[in-house]
Amino acid sequence: MKRLLRILMLLALAAGPMVAAEDDVVMKAMRDELGRSMQQLHLPDVDKPYFIAYRVNDGEITVIAATLGDLTASDQERSRTLNIELRVGDYTLDNTNFLPTRGTERFSRMFSGSGQLPIDNDYEQIRRAIWLATDAEYKRSAEELSSKRAVFKNRKGVSDLPDFTKYEAVNITGAPASSKAEVIALEKLARELSAIFRGSPEILKSEVRITIRNLYSRYVNSEGSSYTEPDPMATVTVSAESQAADGQPLKEAFDVIVISSSDFHKDEIAARTRKMLERIKTLRNAKTIERYNGPVLFEGQAAAQAFGQVFAPALVSTRIPTSDDPRFEAGIQQFLAQMGGGSLADRLGGRVLPADYDVVDKPHDKAQGKIELMGGAQIDDEAVPTKDTVIVEKGILKSLLSTRTPSTDSKATTGSRHGIGASPTNLFLISHKPQTEQELRKQIMDIVKQRGLEYGLVVRDLGAVGLSWVGRMGAIAGQMGNLNPGDVEIYKVYPDGKEELVRGVEFAPFLVGGFKDVLASGDQPSVYTGPFIPMANAMLAGMGGTAGPNGDPFTMVSYVAPSLLFEEVSLKRTSGSSPNPPVAPSPMAVGN
Amino acid sequence: MRVCRVVLTFSLLMGLAAFGQEPAQDGVLKVMQAELTRSYDALKKAPVAPYFLSYQLTDNRAISVESELGALMGSSDRTTRLLDLDLRVGDYKLDNTHKLGGRNEFLQRGFGEATATVPLENDSEGLAIALWLETDHQYKDAVQRYEAVKTSGNLRKTDGTEKKDEGDFSKAPSENYSEPISELKFDRAAWEQKVRSYSHPFANYSDMIDGSVTASGEIETRRYVNSDGSLIRISSPFYRLMISASIRATDGEVLPLHRDWMSFTPEGLPSDAEVNKTVTDMIAILTALRKAPVEEPYTGPAILSGRAAAVFFHEIFGHRIEGDRLNNDEDAQTFKKRINQSVLPPFLSVYSDPTLKRIGSTELVGYYPFDDEGVKARRLTIVQNGIFKSFLTSRTPITGFAESNGHGRRQQGHKVEARQANLVVESSKTVTREELKKKLIVEVKAAKKPYGLLFDDIQGGFTFTQRTIPNAFNINPTVVYRIYTDGREEMVRGLDLIGTPLIAFSKISATDDQPGIFNGVCGAESGWVPVSASAPGMLIDQIEVQRKEKSQERLPILPDPTSRGPETKAAGN
């Protein structure tokens, strides 16, 4: 069975598109087992499956890491995983939107519906693996529906919303991405970029990590839909750690996320790395501030980050699952309230931004100026073709992004199922009253003077999770994967225009409601590509729904927004104590 | 997760190659030694000073390929370099590693395992930095924990019987040893093809749930330096082939069977013909097992084949002689008060010998020249003519054993503990295998039983050594026969071998002259380490078996969709 390897070699040589996947053996095995299961898979006196979808993801992941010019890792992995969405009952009432809290059911669901398939294109063994996984998933789902029925029988006021909506058959074919990770060249890039930190003993740890993820999905469902779709992504993450004289740990990081590694611009990344190195050196001796309440200007990508971390998570519709334990549900409601509440669902038709702003999700846009947009897709994870969705128009909330699972606030899908639930793709905050950067600067200084403050604050980088409460929890728990939660980059600006880097501050809770009071916006939209971190309720809904289609808890979204000026934002000195600096001096400092 | 790497990273391999270098020229060792000296000297000046520091840097390159029923499931080539660091403050008598009383040990230990990012390349300044930062990190942890240890000592009562005046660490001579760096000889593409072909025959049988073959080649190079001046480089190759298959009986029971080979050379792995024959035999056994009757609960005489006895001794005896367990008050410590007392029948002796590379033509994977604390390996008598002589020890002293006998082992990233290596059970009273069977029949008749049992193969098991749980063992045999009084043999299934260790050992009445050897990888508190055990076939006058826990799982609803068809083909017998 050298065939697969040969295909890959061909791919590496000829950069042309591959044969359409329509007739490949993997797709054939998926279709054949799907057809058989829909017709024949059921137990006597037990509900039949009414909907089955298979997704097979071929993944090729290359990870290269280096520090101080030397490699610390260079690994390539290939995998093929199967995900099954199997629903028993009917569209009105099925086994989903239900969260068992007792017994082993809760755990069995978390690990169900997915598995490894042979990486060989071996029809028989792939089909056999799908057969066994479908059988297990059917038995589990049927049992789940029966517990759900039992709970519904004993309780009043349970949701009468249908569990799932029908959708017409759609067929889309996309060829796998032809790009191949050029390991040798990427190793060289990682070495060269990481060597920038050489000769800087004040940097304790530094790393350049390159991740090339080449994903190819095949999907079929029992409604007659099918699609194949490539999803390539190339990331460079540069991070460095230092410690201030008083012991406070300092961490700086940035990501460059593009479609193909050929889009990496070495000189640009190197320049950003050098800038970051200089900044962290400055930061070691920078002063912190105890407390600040006043105007804050989010400049450039920091505005897109604030928009993505605070506003975007509130724009998706979620269906909170029914559980078998009312106390659990009450507890969850309380917990959600503490964690910044849910979406903006209750504000539909109401004002959520000033009247000069629109918010639109644009899955088909490829670039903003010269910057690639990464969130785009032709079709969502439930085989619904994607389209532009106007979410906010002239400041009024018009709709929420939704999936095929109806909720009280949206009955029809917007084609936004990505990952565990609804997610934006390329989300734009559009200002109809743009101002130049100078005008924004003048405006913040006017407020500073008016309020008798010594200075105002400008934020240039929030990192991946600077304002996301859920994201910061995740970062602490190590659940953020490759994402580097670097420190926020904040400057004091004085009336004379002088800027001064600020060390060790964090934001007081910055909630979605704050966006109603955006004072002004710039005329140059910036792009930030980062994870879509849903609110806690959406994660919970994800647990009660079907398994996430590719195992990634977070989808990558490009957020586009102009600089934003807020009148009142609170920050304080980072809480917690710091470790002592190292006892022995750095080996790099010896002899210097 | 099964993974596959498509392109080998040649540049990386070139960077790592340091074949045949003399230790004096080994740049990595030099950096390790220099940084150890520098950091140790600097920390010596701190108010709480370290008295011991060691670095162990483990390079591991492993290629592994796996197939199932003829299709490739995964293929990977991984290179890692991990740092393990042992830093001790206080003194040999009482240091930061001292066990804290109470049940908060987990919290006290925390998550502080090695996390430093170490460059894979040999001439990297990043290595010195990683060593420095990790030393500093561990030093701070050690100081903090040492304070807790001292406070805890003041707060807790000292129980006279459990008092540990043997200290927390023992001295060991400084050692200098170096092996040339081994070269990995493993043709990945060829092995992918081999494992596909080896596992393919299993696909012809529809009741076969699983039929997988995994082949791997690995080089592990360990560099060790400590503040006593030791300088050690060990580079061990390790080649392995594993076959696992399982079949479902008509009542739903899943019946597994495993075979594996391990060697220090790729040539030591079996030929295609041998593997193919093994697969054919495994299919025959599994097909027979599928139809075999389910054994009822039984007590009576039984024979353990040499291989089964070796697994039995490793699990039931071996884990109880690992010395570090004696420092754990929650452990049952079966042999603690048994020094110079009888624990086995007088015709049995047991020794551990990590320096043994083979017995007969079979290689022993528990081999090593120095343990993971830089202590020279040596042969150690554990039981002499039934009398218990010694525990396996690391540099953590236990009552009556102040020094290490070279059994401190770990998987990289874990804390060192005393572990088994090559465990050898010898008998001075042997008979032929046929005579052993005759003896069994005599015992069966005397006990007025219709038959005895023969345990031909065992896949492993578990044993409780904690005090709070009954100290029983549960062994999972895979191939078991009834032996009737007329000598007839009949395969049975669905049973577990259970019992308590001291009683089981006392019932061993005879052994045969054909030792069986088990090579495997054993997991315990200090991670996974390769181990071997050898033992003769044994007659045990009384054993107990119970029914295996019954599977609640239904058979798949739809028939197998592949061309294997719904009917099982006739197996090879």
pLDDT per residue as tens digits for the range B290-340: 999 998 899 999 999 999 999 999 988 998 899 888 877 677 677 888 899
Could you give the CA distance from residue A591 to residue B300 in angstroms, rounded to a whole number? 76
**Number of independent structural domains in chain B:** 2
Q: Please provide the average confidence, as pLDDT, over all residues in chain B.
A: 86
Could you give the CA distance from residue B324 to residue B407 in angstroms, rounded to a whole number? 10
Nearest Cβ partner for B129 among A127, A183, A588: A588
Mark whether B338 and B204 lie in a shared domain. Answer: no
Question: Could A118 and B72 be called an inter-chain contact, meaning their C-beta atoms sit closer than 8 Å?
Answer: yes
Mark whether B358 and B472 lie in a shared domain. Answer: yes
Chain B CA closest to residue A122: B71
Give me the pLDDT at residue B160, please: 41
Give me the pLDDT at residue B75, please: 92
pLDDT per residue as tens digits for the range B467-482: 666 677 888 899 999 9
With contacts defined as CB-CB under 8 Å, which chain B residues touch A60? 6
The widest CA-to-CA distance across chain A, in whole angstroms, is 81
With contacts defined as CB-CB under 8 Å, which chain A residues touch B75? 78, 119
A349 Ramachandran zone, left/alpha/beta (phi>0; psi -120 to 50): left
User: Strand B451-463 and strand B298-304: pairing?
Assistant: parallel
Q: Rg of chain B over CA atoms, in angstroms?
A: 26
* Distance to chain A for B413, nearest Cα, Å: 17
Question: Could B135 and A68 be called an inter-chain contact, meaning their C-beta atoms sit closer than 8 Å?
Answer: no
- Tell me the residue range of the domain where B396 lies: 298-547
Last residue of a domain, one of B222, B237, B252: B237
* Distance to chain B for A92, nearest Cα, Å: 26
The widest CA-to-CA distance across chain B, in whole angstroms, is 79
Last residue of a domain, one of B202, B237, B272: B237
With contacts defined as CB-CB under 8 Å, which chain A residues touch B556? 131-132, 135
A155: tokens are 């309780």
DSSP annotation of B317 reads I
Would residue B449 count as lying in a domain? yes
pLDDT per residue as tens digits for the range B398-433: 988 999 999 999 998 888 999 999 999 999 999 999
User: Strand B473-484 and strand B489-492: pairing?
Assistant: antiparallel
At residue B565, the 3 state secondary structure works out as: coil
Handedness of CA A304, A310, A316, A321 (dihedral sign): positive
With contacts defined as CB-CB under 8 Å, which chain B residues touch A73? 120
CB atoms within 10 A of CB B23: 16
Could you give the CA distance from residue A133 to residue A37 in angstroms, rounded to a whole number? 11
* Distance to chain B for A2, nearest Cα, Å: 8
Mark whether B79 and B228 lie in a shared domain. Answer: yes
Most B CBs within 10 Å, among A74, A130, A191, to test the B interface? A74
Question: Could B5 and A75 be called an inter-chain contact, meaning their C-beta atoms sit closer than 8 Å?
Answer: yes
Chain B CA closest to residue A115: B1
- Judge contact between A101 and B155, C-beta under 8 A: no
* Distance to chain A for B3, nearest Cα, Å: 5
Give me the pLDDT at residue A237, please: 93
**C-alpha triplet B406, B407, B410: angle, nearest 5°:** 125
A387: tokens are 């389209």
Question: Could B126 and A120 be called an inter-chain contact, meaning their C-beta atoms sit closer than 8 Å?
Answer: no
With contacts defined as CB-CB under 8 Å, which chain B residues touch A204? 129, 133
Would residue B557 count as lying in a domain? no
CB atoms within 10 A of CB B71: 23
Q: What is the DSSP string of B420-467?
A: --EEEEEESSEE-HHHHHHHHHHHHHHTT-SEEEEEEEEEEEEE--BS
Mark whether B221 and B341 lie in a shared domain. Answer: no
Mark whether B223 and B313 lie in a shared domain. Answer: no
User: Strand A357-361 and strand A426-431: pairing?
Assistant: antiparallel
Give me the pLDDT at residue A429, please: 98
Mark whether B75 and B192 lie in a shared domain. Answer: yes
Which residue in the block uniquely carries the two structure tokens 């009737």? B484
Could you give the CA distance from residue B199 to residue B180 in angstroms, rounded to a whole number? 36
CATH number at residue B110: 3.30.2290
Give me the pLDDT at residue B569, please: 44
Instruction: Give the E-state strand segments of A508-587 in sequence order.
Output: 518-522, 526-532, 555-561, 564-573
**What single-letter amino acid sits at A549?**
P
Could you give the CA distance from residue B565 to residue A266 in angstroms, rounded to a whole number? 57
Mark whether B233 and B355 lie in a shared domain. Answer: no
Query: Terminal CA-to-CA distance of chain A, rounded, Å?
Result: 58
Would residue B242 count as lying in a domain? no
Could you give the CA distance from residue B468 to residue B471 in angstroms, rounded to a whole number? 9
Query: Which pLDDT tens digits describe chain A residue by residue (592 residues)?
Result: 333 333 333 333 333 333 444 468 999 999 999 999 999 999 998 999 999 999 999 999 999 999 999 999 998 888 999 999 999 999 999 998 888 776 555 555 555 667 889 999 999 999 999 999 999 999 989 988 998 898 888 877 777 899 999 999 999 998 887 767 889 999 999 999 999 999 999 999 999 999 999 999 999 999 999 999 998 999 999 999 999 888 888 888 899 999 999 889 999 999 999 999 999 999 999 998 999 999 999 999 999 999 998 899 899 988 878 877 777 777 777 776 666 556 788 889 999 999 999 999 999 999 999 899 999 999 999 999 999 999 999 999 999 999 999 988 888 999 999 988 899 999 999 999 999 999 999 999 999 999 999 999 999 998 876 677 666 666 554 444 444 456 789 999 999 989 999 998 888 887 788 899 999 999 999 999 988 887 766 666 665 554 444 445 678 899 999 999 999 999 988 877 788 888 888 888 754 4
Nearest Cβ partner for B558 among A36, A67, A125: A36
Among candidates B149, B53, B138, which has minimal Cα distance to B108? Answer: B149
Confidence of residue B15 (pLDDT cuts 50, 70, 90): very low
- Judge contact between B77 and B5, C-beta under 8 A: yes
* Distance to chain A for B77, nearest Cα, Å: 8
- Judge contact between A149 and A52, C-beta under 8 A: no
Most B CBs within 10 Å, among A41, A47, A72, A197, to test the B interface? A72
Could you give the CA distance from residue A91 to residue A88 in angstroms, rounded to a whole number? 9
Query: Which residues, at least 6 apart from B513, have a Cβ–Cβ distance to it below 8 Å?
Result: B430, B431, B432, B433, B536
Question: Could A72 and B5 be called an inter-chain contact, meaning their C-beta atoms sit closer than 8 Å?
Answer: no
A268: tokens are 């640009």
Among candidates B421, B405, B375, which has minimal Cα distance to B54? Answer: B375
Could you give the CA distance from residue B414 to residue A259 in angstroms, rounded to a whole number? 39
Would residue B15 count as lying in a domain? yes
The HSE-up count of residue B153 (CA atoms within 13 Å, CB side) is 16
Which residue in the block uniquely carries the two structure tokens 């990081």? A253
Question: Could A584 and B117 be called an inter-chain contact, meaning their C-beta atoms sit closer than 8 Å?
Answer: no
Question: Could B129 and A587 be called an inter-chain contact, meaning their C-beta atoms sit closer than 8 Å?
Answer: yes
Last residue of a domain, one of B237, B256, B273: B237
Which residue in the block uniquely carries the two structure tokens 């696992």? B244
- Judge contact between B317 and B343, C-beta under 8 A: no
pLDDT per residue as tens digits for the range B221-276: 999 999 999 999 999 999 999 999 999 888 888 899 999 999 999 999 999 999 99
With contacts defined as CB-CB under 8 Å, which chain B residues touch A71? 12, 15, 119-121
B509 sits in which H/E element: strand B508-512
CA distances from B256 to A75, A116, B157, B247 (A): 33, 21, 50, 7
Question: Could A71 and B12 be called an inter-chain contact, meaning their C-beta atoms sit closer than 8 Å?
Answer: yes
Would residue B269 count as lying in a domain? no
* Distance to chain B for A315, nearest Cα, Å: 35
Could you give the CA distance from residue B477 to residue B496 in angstroms, rounded to a whole number? 6
Would residue B287 count as lying in a domain? no
Nearest Cβ partner for A1 among B39, B196, B554: B196
With contacts defined as CB-CB under 8 Å, which chain A residues touch B69? 125, 128
Would residue B97 count as lying in a domain? yes
Mark whether B320 and B216 lie in a shared domain. Answer: no
A151: tokens are 């709970």
Among candidates B36, B375, B32, which has minimal Cα distance to B175? Answer: B375
Mark whether B438 and B531 lie in a shared domain. Answer: yes
User: Strand B422-427 and strand B527-535: pairing?
Assistant: parallel
Question: Could A43 and B557 be called an inter-chain contact, meaning their C-beta atoms sit closer than 8 Å?
Answer: yes
Give me the pLDDT at residue B482, please: 96
- Judge contact between A394 and A420, C-beta under 8 A: no
* Distance to chain B for A74, nearest Cα, Å: 7
Question: Could A79 and B74 be called an inter-chain contact, meaning their C-beta atoms sit closer than 8 Å?
Answer: yes
Would residue B130 count as lying in a domain? yes
The HSE-up count of residue A273 (CA atoms within 13 Å, CB side) is 29
Mark whether B303 and B228 lie in a shared domain. Answer: no
pLDDT per residue as tens digits for the range B346-400: 999 999 999 999 999 899 999 999 999 999 999 999 999 999 999 999 999 998 8
Give me the pLDDT at residue B8, please: 27
pLDDT per residue as tens digits for the range B97-113: 887 765 445 444 433 34
* Distance to chain A for B41, nearest Cα, Å: 9
Phi and psi torsions of B57, nearest 5°: -115, 120
Mark whether B219 and B332 lie in a shared domain. Answer: no
Whether residue B76 is predicted with pLDDT greater than 60 in this model: the reply is: yes
Mark whether B16 and B150 lie in a shared domain. Answer: yes
List, in sequence order, the alpha helices (H) in B156-271: 188-199
